[in-house]
Amino acid sequence: MLVADDNADLARLLGELIKLDPALEFAGYVQSGAEAIEQARHGVADVLVLDLGLRDINGLQVLERLAAESCGVKVIVHTGHAFEGLDKWVKSKGAAGYVLKDGNPGSLLKAIKAA
């Protein structure tokens, strides 16, 4: 499990949450889209928890690039952005799931396991 979020504190918290579940393995976190793509290409994790608001390459662009490259990583979009149709759009671009940051942390774990 790899977390890509420009908020290092949140990324660390997500890592701690993931580590609490013995069925999941936390590979680390990155803070940029370029790092997320690089790590996905190298097979660092089978699931990427991806924020949309990354500094260099936004999460939507990361999602599109990973889908185009067919690198095999499953992406869970984890965002504070909520607007009608976003969940369907990210899934149409290859995301395995979509979870709002202000939701229940259990929802993220459920989405990760479903991926």
CATH at 49: 3.40.50.2300
Domain-located, residue 9: yes
Any domain includes 38: yes
Is position 95 within any domain? yes
Confidence of residue 57 (pLDDT cuts 50, 70, 90): very high
51: in domain = yes
Residue 20: give the domain boundaries: 2-83+90-99
Domain-embedded: residue 73: yes
How confident is the prediction for the chain on average, in pLDDT? 90
The verdict on residue 76 lying in a domain is: yes
Contacts of 24 (CB under 8 A, 6+ apart): 1, 18, 109, 112, 113
Q: How many whole angstroms separate alpha carbon 75 and alpha carbon 62? A: 10
Residue 110 token pair: 């459920």
Number of domains in the chain: 1
- d(CA 39, CA 74) in angstroms, rounded, equals 13
pLDDT of residue 86: 83
Band of residue 40 on the pLDDT scale cut at 50, 70, 90: very high
In this prediction, residues 25-48 reach a mean pLDDT of: 92
Residue 111 within any structural domain of the chain = no
Q: Report d(CA 13, CA 37) in Å as an integer.
A: 22
pTM of the model: 0.92
